[in-house]
Amino acid sequence: GHKGERGEKGTRGPSGLEGRVGGAGPSGTKGEKGSSGRKGDSGKVGPQGPNGGTGLKGSKGEVGAKGAKGQQTEALNWKQCVWKREDDKDTGLIQECRFKKIHGNSALHVAYGGNLRVYCPGGICCSRWYFTFDNDECTGSMAIDGIVYKIRTNDNPARHRQIEGYCENISAGEVRVGFN
């Protein structure tokens, strides 16, 4: 026979069971660029980093301008005082030398180089050797002195010693330098 006429729409049937999730679909097209966000707050200061290595050597600088001509100065005021004692004096003022100091704002350099000893059989001994300037010890910085110390020996050691220093605050003029 012939195909019949289409029938009327029937009533809706009950919902079926839920189906399984299907696979991922293809990626979509790239979206438009978004607007910039606001600037964030400053972060905390980080810890001090290690020192860097030695840098490269710089190039040689230009030659500087010639300096002004200096003033003519007086010759150095230098004196050596030496002596050879024939006695056994080893206490009090040993030797005195006179010196002409030209400037009041300069220091006076003194030095002793020679044998010194301390003698006291079997005991503990200590001797101090020092310079004086017009019978007073140096007060311009500190005293210029040396110590010789010996403990419980019967020897009589005369050994080379060096005592030296600079004394300031001494007026210009004649100065009596003593070694005590």
- Please state the separation of Cα 163 from the chain's center in Å: 28
Could you read off the pLDDT of 23-81 as tens digits, one per residue?
A: 888 888 888 888 888 888 888 988 888 988 888 999 999 999 999 988 877 667 888 88
Contact assessment for residue 147 and residue 127, using Cβ atoms and an 8 Å cutoff: yes
C-alpha dihedral sign at 87, 92, 93, 94? positive
135-160: average pLDDT: 83
Q: For 72-107, write each residue's pLDDT tens digit.
A: 776 678 888 888 888 878 788 999 999 999 888 889
pTM of the predicted model as reported, rounded to 2 decimal places: 0.56
